[in-house]
Structure 1
Amino acid sequence: MTAETDAATRYFDAIAAALGGLEIFMRDDRSPLYRHGIVAKVVAEYIARLEKSFSCWRNRLGFMESFRISRAESGFPVFQNVLELENDRRSAGQRLAAIPEPNEIRAEMADFILRHKAFPAALQRSMAERLYLEDVDDGSAFGPFTLAQTAKVSVNPKTGRPFYLVHWASFDGAANLPLIYMATVEDSSTPMIKQLVGRDGKLDEGVEIPLPVDGLLNPELAHRFDDFTEKNSAYSLSPATIAVNLDKDFETLHPKQLRRVVLGPFYSAGITEHNSTVAEVLSKVRKVENAWLLTWTIQEVYSKAERPGRRGLFSSEKSTQEFFINTDDLEAARQGVSSYEKHALVPHEAYQALYAAGESEKIFAGYKVHILSKGQVISDV
């Protein structure tokens, strides 16, 4: 095993353990995110997509040697890898047709070993490519951009408008970070109010809505909404900027809350280099599969009031949201959010090493720390 292969194996093992631990945390009903059950459920769906991506990349290394991660910044794969997955997904069906079925390849491998008394490296590469393309072909990996879905529909009793919980995701090409977005948006368009709001001012139970619905529930705005989210999902845009842009661009859509989950940075001993203190301590962890640290940030901006629109003879103005930015908190103001939470997930052995080195307080200052131990996540340490 070469040094590069060994490092790749350690990286994939570490990120698999981290994402598996994060999924346990999200699905645990004791998790602080579970007070918003649907939020945890949505995030868990995107974690599953990321796990699929890493499974694909691991198989890809069996026949292609190009794989790079952002060692000094995010600790996640560089954007080029995400684009390659997407390109391969588009051509997977055509390429699979040219590769024999797995059983045929296995039979050929056995025959090759018996006849040549050697390892069938070319056939092994064909098998790896076959498994990779089958994995990529189903479209469930975390792509450069994942189109919006409507996960929940209800009615605001104060305004009489239906509102949707919509989510989407992107992999930021500049920061090399996976980003998950969730927005609560009210809809004041007359057709949707007539269709969704009953005489009692509540959601009309006679209307069947097969949730989740691909795209924004309002069919007249769905394509425009997809275009908007694709152009307004960069990490460089603050949540407040995205919310204000959404409010401006759609006359009948009124964003009441926008959440962004930023996954990363990810730290792995001997591989990532973005924090020398963390790297030094993690390198002393006895089991390499426990020598990692995953962080994520949940950002939120919400509307504190709606300024009514004005309709005049010669001009009109749509109603606009007044978003709350917590200027009393310098970090919240810098991020352009009403509030934020920073989280860290770390294996028990790595946490012990950081604690023993006297670095845990400095490294985890401002973070909610969650410890992965024996398949369970312990929070509030």
Structure 2
Amino acid sequence: MRADTGAAGAYFRSMQAALKGLRIYLADAKSPLYAHGLVGQVLIPYVDRLEATFTAWEHRVGFMERFRISRADSGFPVFQNVLTLENDRATAKERLAAMPEVEALKVEMADFILRHKQFPTALQEQIAERLYLEDIGKDAVFAPFILPETIRVSVNPKNRRPYYVVHWGVFDGSQTLPMVYMATIEDSSEAIAKSLIGADGKLNPEIEIPLPVGGLLNPEFARGFDASAEKNGAYSLSPVTIAQNLDSDFEHLHPKQLRRFVLGPFYSAGVTDNSDKISSILSKVRKDENAWLLTWTMQEVFSVTERPAKRGLWSSTPARDEYHINTDDLEATRQGVSDYQKHALVPHEAYQALYASGEAESIFSGFTVHVVSGNQVISEV
């Protein structure tokens, strides 16, 4: 997309509207999502990151010639945009220090217009670049890999192991999809048990844990877990494969549940080509901010049993988990999950257009539909 075609503006308006609608849905304690515990709480900061990232990209379009999105597939910006933003973050402070403040540039723009009776395109581009650098300098964008964070610590009363709820983010380069991972992990290492668990088998109340904690709570494994999560973050890996890989990377960490939230594809009228049927219907919607459809998938895999460790004279085998795959559901088997849910978020005007076309049933087959109407989301339409 070129910055001067208007397509970029339409795309950013529709994407920002979609992310706003998604946040409304996630923040609603009455939504079906809250049957999944902490999922809503975990996801909202990642949506915030995406909003900040798209705001930065929109400013970048103001001073760069082109901005590419994955028109035919995910509908999200191609991975090169993510990498460029990440590279620019490294030099943002130095570049900002060498530039005038936005207010000074605006004064210069006004003076230029009065003196030359022309629009100062170069100054406008400088303002856009300044705003872009300020945005990415806040360290709140969606990076290729967002480090794990521990948000809950408890104890399994059956085996007296501490367990952690951890989440992290990945922007997949091959499929251009933002994803959020969330895992419940038991820790069987003796040192952490002595540190965290009291004589009654519960968390020691004298140990203060200032949640959230950056990284895995156990410092012995924190750096290794970061590396394993990044190595196993690709969309091409099924959730069961990721859980098994995390399990095999650590003798004393036992993933009991892994969830993956895959955002996309995104459909935007006049911009994306990932569905001719959807695009042609959305093109009849008058406003860009209402001419979109956002889908996402929630995948889950959980452990059904743990094979105990075996200690022998010549060799030993660490404890390993066995994960449930729902073989009664062909799609669950294909995805490598115990369970999955497909969701679609759509503005009321776009939903009406889709419904009037007679195509709504086929388009939304297998999806739970959420309709954005003003500042509320009506679910399970």
Within 1, Cα distance between the matches of 2:345 and 2:133? 32
Corresponding residue for residue 235 of structure 1: 235
Shift, 1:288, TM fit: 2.9
Conserved 8 A contact 2:154-2:162: yes
In 2, the alpha carbon distance for the partners of 1:242 and 1:259 equals 10
Distance in 2 between residues matched to 1:37 and 1:318, nearest whole Å: 30
- Indicate the larger mover: 108-117 or 271-280: 108-117
> Which aligned pairs between 1:239-258 and structure 2 lie closer than 5 A?
239-258=239-258
SS in 1 for 2:131: helix
Q: What is the alpha-carbon distance in structure 1 between the residues aligned to residue 3 and residue 68 of structure 2?
A: 15
Counterpart of 1:113? 113
Measured against aligned partners, the alpha-carbon deviations of 1:133-161 in whole angstroms (never above 9, x if no partner) come to 01101110001110100111111101100
* Corresponding position: 1:193 with 2:193: yes
> 1:379 aligned to 2:355?
no
- Give the letter aligned to residue 328 of structure 1: D
Task: Give the C-alpha shift of residue 126 in structure 1.
Answer: 1.1
Partner of 1:301: 301
Match of 1:357 in 2: 357
| Distance apart, 1:107 and its partner CA | 2.0
The equivalent residue for 2:310 is 310
**Native 8 Å contact 2:162 2:188 kept in 1:** yes
Q: Cα 1:356–1:21, aligned 2, differ >3 Å: closer, same or farther?
A: same
- TM-score for both structures, normalised by structure 2: 0.98
Local SS of the residue matching 1:70: coil
Amino acid at match of 2:246: L
- Of 169-178 and 122-131, deviating more is 122-131
Aligned to 2:272: 272
- State the partner residue of 2:337: 337
Q: Deviations over 1:238-285 (max 9, x none)?
A: 000000011111000000000000000000111111111111111112
* Distance in structure 2 (CA, Å) of the matches to 1:265 and 1:93: 34
State the alpha-carbon separation in 2 of the partners of residues 52 and 37 from structure 1: 26
For 1:144 and 1:114, the matched residues in 2 are separated by: 44
- One-letter amino acid of the counterpart of residue 131, structure 2: L
- Counterpart Cα distance in 2 of 1:90 and 1:309: 45
The whole-number CA distance in structure 2 between the counterparts of 1:350 and 1:121 is: 36
Work out the CA distance in 1 between the residues paired with 2:179 and 2:62.
Answer: 28
Match of 1:21 in 2: 21
1:215 match: 215
Question: Residue 178 of structure 1 aligns with which residue?
Answer: 178
Deviation at 1:3, TM superposition (A): 8.6
Answering whether residue 141 of structure 2 is matched by residue 141 of structure 1, we say: yes
What amino acid maps onto 2:16 in structure 1? A
Equivalent AA in structure 1 for residue 293 of structure 2: L
Q: Distance in 1 between matches of 2:208 and 2:351?
A: 49
User: Which secondary structure state, in structure 2, belongs to the residue aligned with residue 149 of structure 1?
Assistant: strand
Supply the AA of the counterpart residue of 1:260.
R
Please tell me the residue identity of whatever aligns with 1:337.
Answer: V
Deviations 1:81-132 (A, max 9, x none): 0001101111101101110112221222222222222212111111111111
- Residue matched to 1:368: 368
Q: Deviations over 1:28-64 (max 9, x none)?
A: 0111112334210111110100000000000111111
Pairing of 1:319-334 with structure 2 (within 5 A) = 319-334=319-334
CA distance in 1, matches of 2:222, 2:33: 28
Once residues 353 and 115 of structure 1 are traced to their aligned partners in structure 2, the CA distance between those partners, rounded to angstroms, is 50
Aligned pair count?
380
Opposite residue 105 of structure 1, the aligned amino acid is: L
Q: CA RMSD in A?
A: 1.1
Distance 1:365 1:4 in 2: 37
Match of 1:97 in 2: 97
TM-score w.r.t. structure 1 length? 0.98
Using the TM superposition, name which of 292-301 and 28-37 deviates more.
28-37
Preserved contact between residue 3 and residue 62 of structure 2 (Cα < 8 Å): no
Identity %: 64
The one-letter amino acid of 1:106's match is: K
| Counterpart position of 2:165 | 165
Secondary structure of 2:260's partner?
Answer: strand
Q: Check the 8 A contact 2:59/2:129 in 1, yes or no.
A: yes
State the secondary structure of the residue aligned to 2:63: coil
| Structure 2: gaps spanning 5 or more residues | none
Which amino acid letter does the alignment assign opposite residue 55 of structure 1? T
- The alignment partner of 2:171 has SS state of strand
